[in-house]
Structure 1
Amino acid sequence: MIGPAALTLLLGLWGVTREHSMWRDEAATWEAAHRALPELAHMLDRIDVVHGVYYLFMHGVFAVLGDSLIALRLPSVLAMAGAAAATAATARRLAGSRAGVAAGTAFALMPSTQHYAQEGRSYALVVAAVAVATLILVTLVDGRGKPGVPARRWAGYAAGMLAAALLNWFSLLALPAHAAAVFMAHRRGATRLLTRWPMAAAAVVAGALPLILASRSQAQQVAWIRPLTWSTALAPLLLLTVGLLCADLLKRLPATPPTPRALSAVSLGLPLLAFPLLALLLLSLIKPLYIDRYVLYTNLGLGLLIGAAASALVRSWRPLVTLALAAFAALLPLQLDLRTPQSRVDDVLAPAEVVARTSRPGDGVLFIPSLRRDTAEVSPGSFTALDDLALAQSPSASGTLQGKETAPQHIRRAMLGKHRILVVADVDGHPGSARDTVKRRVLVEHFTRCADTEVRGRRVQSYERGTSCTAPPLRS
């Protein structure tokens, strides 16, 4: 559907550079996609294998389009536009043309849709792949699984779900939702689906299994996820409540269109919304795993339910357009905020600008923790005249994102050999490793802090050896 796709595209391109900022997860994409293929393979053998397909894709994007913030985020913008079109087409098949436009528009206006449409990560591509696979499944249900249905449709469905799984294998939680929809369609006469869908689903799982097994050895990468709390669960439960209210409304109102169908917006949309959310929430009671972006594709189910409910409740185009404009206006403050650097945890570009402005040739530089070295990896020109006092092996050579640092005693010796040191750190300033503890201790015992600049979630500090600064201390 052209309208919802165009709306999503326009919203995605609006403020896409976010005031020339890039947060830490996008910096990981930037670093990985800039590496030569052997270096990328070396890295994936150690970390981020779950993102390997996406990094390889972005390596190709940068090779074709060049590297820029627009090139970094454009695939996500286009993917979300495609997902909106697929959502609209799915809703149109299930509940009519008005429902199609309403569903695609609702999907486009969701804050999380707009958030990840402007992010250089894989999540928008996952949503698009699940959306296309869901649309193909609906066309297969419409065909009732008859022998005349081309095998390439089943291949297309499996390919879409496999693409989603290879980009993020949490998308496999959409398969049980599709299974519920297939079972409902089977009860209404689509008998062949019950044998053909499991074959397609099995092919998807088999194709994703090597990635799942490989990622198990890197499970420590999700150790940062916090245990589930009521505040964490509140947002997904609210979304689920909205979906249930829409489903209840649709059951109370006459069907639109009135002709019987093997699938409805409720029998497809509600499982697609509810199952992945509830499954990940329940898994998180055992091992913390719940992050909303891992199941971002549940927006598709919510969009189907909202679109069908709005179409059933408002049975003409004019009030439907008015409702969409009102929703846009109500969400405008949030939409504006999403396009600012403050909408993300931090910005790796701003501290590099501070370093470039305040550093002197021959200064030392430290990163606390070492992962904050992403600032130098993304903006190497700002650090060319500085000595990285802790680095033993570069990120690309070590197959990591932060590099390999030397022993604490070597870091101490290198620090004491410098008159002036710049530090790029997190705002909280909490040292994490033994090396970080040594860095902080030497700075406190032998250096004077002469400048402390907090900028977009990070901190740049300058220290000089001794008890005084060559310029008056400043804090900004």
Structure 2
Amino acid sequence: MLWTLACGLWGLARQDSVWRDEAATWQVAQRSTAEICHMLGNVDVVHGLYYLLMHALFECFGPGTTTLRLPSVLATGVAAACVAVVGRRLAGAPAGLAGGMTLGLLPAVQFYSQEGRSYALVAAGAGVSTLLLVTALQRRVQRRHWAAYSGVVLFAGLLNWLSLMVLAAHFVTLLWTSAGRAVLARWAVAAGCATAGVLPLIVFSRSQSGQVSWIPPLSGHMLIGPAVLLAIGGIGALLDRPRVGRLSTAAVGLPLLAVPQLGLVALSLIQPLFLDRYILYSMLGLALLIGTVVDSAVRAARPRFPQASRCILPMALAVAMLALLPQSLAKRSPASRVDDVLAVASEIQRLKQTGNGVLFIPSARRDTKSVSPDAFAGLRDIALVETPVGSGTLKGVEAAPDRIRAALLAEHRVLLVTDASPVARPVTAARDRAKAAVLRRYFTPVADEQIRGRRVTVYERGPTTR
């Protein structure tokens, strides 16, 4: 846990940058509880519990990058501790220590352990529930143990209902280890209660499925990553000499890795959903199996080279750290994310003049204003009809294209906030096409700044129009 916390705290501020996904957390967490609930009826209900948790933290400690990201760091530390304990119980101390320390080095875990979103918290829930399951299979437990298991799965499911695939992974483990009927019955009751608690969220979130319409359909190259992970995990499982009826790291780790990966692939055939962050918790299974690989090397070397065998784990960690150092440094830089909402706010403050207008293409880029309202003081939001808070949305409600056109023609100087060229998408919405057409025809760009994935262009109205 200490190792993983140290990895997570390293470069946590990311040069005071905040990207668009984290900006959503930032702006929603600063709303009142009533305003958050109003918004969840329209958008982002799948993140509702997380937003309420972050709202409480922002109320207690104030908004900032540390408050935004520290919960993910702590959750990753909990997940690593669970991997270490499970590995130690099933294969011994070297396997547990290697698996737990591996988790914090995995590139995906390094990325999301410093993310102001819920994915690391879900991974911690998966780790705790897996530890509770292993405890149940190793010793006689009471009802309160299964109640705790159900509560943890429910909590993780409310943070992200795709985490319920951990139940399928645990069911495979139960079948693999030939768990008795009593254990299966208790697990079924606990799993059923957790699923029933998450079911209303699943049903309601279907009405907001348009939010994930941007995710591309599943393609062949998307399967390369899961195939590599499953191959690595398969090697670890084989080294554990898996046998039916025996509780082992293979019986726990391989389902925890494979079932969420394959499950998300299957769901993506119905609706595109394939994003690795949705199943970050599957990395716990990978770490557990990598710990088995290291442990196998230690056991193989111990009879002939007892002294050298003690150096295998620290040497493996040192080699892994050096090999992953370029990635580790890259993931702690602002360039690791698509954009930086705070950087463009500082450009607005430098370029603006009191009384200017401001436009956002697309309207989602208004997140810069929501996170840094002081930078936009004195600017008229030309297209905005209803604020994000008032409308219960993330980006507000804009006027019809004709009204935007008329309002824009009354301006002399306009600041446009949009995406930088490398990440910009074609303008498709009618409102955005109207904004771009008027600026192109009646205004002249006099300044253009691109910084960390965002772009600010200053337009001035010419003395004549075409």
Range class of TM-score, shorter chain: over 0.9
Alpha-carbon distance in structure 2 between the residues aligned to 1:415 and 1:358: 19
- Structure 2 residue identity aligned to 1:170: L
Please state how far the C-alpha of 1:433 moved relative to its aligned partner.
1.0
Aligned partners of 2:240 and 2:248 also within 8 Å = no
Aligned partners of 1:186 and 1:194 also within 8 Å = no
Aligned partners of 1:88 and 1:103 also within 8 Å = yes
Please state how far the C-alpha of 1:430 moved relative to its aligned partner.
2.7
Please state how far the C-alpha of 1:262 moved relative to its aligned partner.
4.0
Q: Paired residue for 1:452, among 440, 448, 458? A: 448
CA offsets 1:101-142 (integer angstroms, 9 cap, x no match): 000011111011110010000000000011001001101100
Aligned to 1:324: 317
Aligned to 1:121: 117
Alpha-carbon distance in structure 2 between the residues aligned to 1:272 and 1:429: 36
CA offsets 1:185-238 (integer angstroms, 9 cap, x no match): 235xx4421211111111111111111111111111111110011221111111
Structure-2 change in CA distance of 1:429 and 1:418 (3 Å): farther
> What secondary structure, in the 3-state scheme, does the structure 2 residue paired with 1:461 have?
strand
Name the Cα RMSD after superposition.
1.5
Are 2:280 and 1:296 equivalent residues in the alignment?
yes
Q: Paired residue for 2:29, among 28, 33, 44? A: 33
Are 2:206 and 1:207 equivalent residues in the alignment?
no
Please state how far the C-alpha of 1:363 moved relative to its aligned partner.
0.6
Q: How does 1:87-126 map to 2 (within 5 A)?
A: 87-126=83-122
Q: How does 1:176-255 map to 2 (within 5 A)?
A: 176-186=168-178, 190-251=180-241
Aligned to 1:437: 433
Are 2:158 and 1:166 equivalent residues in the alignment?
yes
Please state how far the C-alpha of 1:407 moved relative to its aligned partner.
1.5
* Structure-1-length-normalised TM-score: 0.93
* Structure-2-length-normalised TM-score: 0.95
Q: Which runs of 5+ in 1 are unaligned?
A: 469-476
Please state how far the C-alpha of 1:467 moved relative to its aligned partner.
6.3
Alpha-carbon distance in structure 2 between the residues aligned to 1:245 and 1:460: 50
Alpha-carbon distance in structure 1 between the residues aligned to 2:266 and 2:56: 37
Q: How does 1:276-315 map to 2 (within 5 A)?
A: 276-315=260-299
CA offsets 1:29-48 (integer angstroms, 9 cap, x no match): 11111111111111000000
- Structure 2 residue identity aligned to 1:301: G
- Structure 2 residue identity aligned to 1:400: T
> What secondary structure, in the 3-state scheme, does the structure 2 residue paired with 1:346 have?
coil
Please state how far the C-alpha of 1:355 moved relative to its aligned partner.
0.4
Which 4+ stretches in 1 moved above 4 angstroms?
Answer: none
- Structure 2 residue identity aligned to 1:390: A
Alpha-carbon distance in structure 2 between the residues aligned to 1:373 and 1:389: 12
Please state how far the C-alpha of 1:250 moved relative to its aligned partner.
2.3
Aligned to 1:471: none
Aligned partners of 1:369 and 1:432 also within 8 Å = no
Say how many residue pairs are matched. Answer: 452
Q: Paired residue for 2:148, among 138, 147, 156? A: 156
Alpha-carbon distance in structure 1 between the residues aligned to 2:454 and 2:227: 33
- Structure 1 residue identity aligned to 2:229: L
Alpha-carbon distance in structure 2 between the residues aligned to 1:94 and 1:317: 20
Q: Which runs of 5+ in 2 are unaligned?
A: 300-308
Structure-2 change in CA distance of 1:319 and 1:411 (3 Å): same
Aligned partners of 2:239 and 2:292 also within 8 Å = no
Aligned partners of 1:111 and 1:335 also within 8 Å = yes
Alpha-carbon distance in structure 2 between the residues aligned to 1:55 and 1:90: 31
Alpha-carbon distance in structure 1 between the residues aligned to 2:223 and 2:333: 26
Aligned partners of 1:448 and 1:467 also within 8 Å = no
Aligned to 1:42: 38
